[in-house]
Structure formats: C-alpha cells, structure tokens
Amino acid sequence: MIRSVFILLIVVISFAIKAEAQNRSNTQATRFQKQHMPQTEEMLINSLMDSNPSKKATTVQDIRDLEFIYPDEPFNNFIKPLGDLLKNEKEITQVRILSAIALDGLHSDTGDQAIEEMSKTSSDQSVKELCAALLVKSQK
C-alpha cells in the first residue's frame, strides 16, 4: 500500500515538474538553439551509457527537460537507450523509474511496449508498480 502511494506521488510530482518546465520553456528555448539538437542528443545518449548512476539519473532528467521544452520534437534517438535502462534489472531502481517516466513522456509505441513489459515482468516491485500506473494513466 505504501509503495503504491509512493509511486503515485512520483507520477503526480512528475506532472507538476512538467507544468513548471512548460512555463519556463519560452525563456529557455531562446537560449538553446535547435541547431544544436543533434549534438545534444548524441551527448545525452553517451551519458546514458556511463557507469555512474548519478550521471545516468541526471541525464534522464535532462532528457525529460528537453521533452518539456520541445514537445513537438519526437526524440526517437532516446527511446532505445531509455528502454534498455528500464529493462536492465541490474540498474538501480531510481534510474529505472526515471527512465520509465521519460519513456512515457516520449509517447512512442516502442517505449509503451517496454513500460508494459516491465509492468508484468520486472523483479523490482517499485518499477513494476510505476510502469503499471503509467499504463493506466496513458489509457485515460
């Protein structure tokens, strides 16, 4: 019960962060030139492969920030690396949870399939419950 409430709280906080990021997006978008997007994506994907969990978590949050600032960008290059992090049972829970939330924000069939798979098969109960909650949220 407590774990379910915790996961629901994470999802609610995620939406609050998204709303705040959208309010800041106009200012940030002027500072960040879209022409640098390919280099930025490549740099973030490389950071996802780092062995440091803190660096991975920060990178996933950076990806989520980009999703909020540029909601019309597909960011297809992030789907596989985020899915790999989510599916990696050896990865720390926090990175997997952030990856699931980031994948959900990308609104891709591949990402949704990874989330659905982990909602059924993950050995980490927190990841499993969050993925199930994300699936319920996306069906509404």
Checking if the pLDDT of 35 tops 80, the result is no
Question: Does the pLDDT value for residue 123 go beyond 60?
Answer: yes
Q: What percent of the chain has pLDDT over 70?
A: 74
* Cα→Cα distances 17→20, 25, 79, 134, Å: 5, 12, 21, 16
Confidence of residue 18 (pLDDT cuts 50, 70, 90): low
Q: Closest Cα to residue 12, out of 96, 101, 95?
A: 101
Residue 6's pLDDT is what?
Answer: 58
Tokens representing 90 are 């050896």
pLDDT band at residue 34 using 50, 70 and 90 as cut-offs: confident
Q: Give the pLDDT confidence score for residue 88 in this predicted structure.
A: 97
Comparison of pLDDT for 10 and 35, the residue scoring more: 35
Q: Would you list the domain boundaries of the chain?
A: 2-139
Q: How far is CA 48 from CA 12, 14, 39, 58, in A?
A: 25, 20, 14, 9
CATH number corresponding to 2-139: 1.25.40
Average pLDDT estimate for 89-105: 96
Read off the amino acid at residue 96. Answer: R
Question: Residue 43: its pLDDT value, please?
Answer: 96
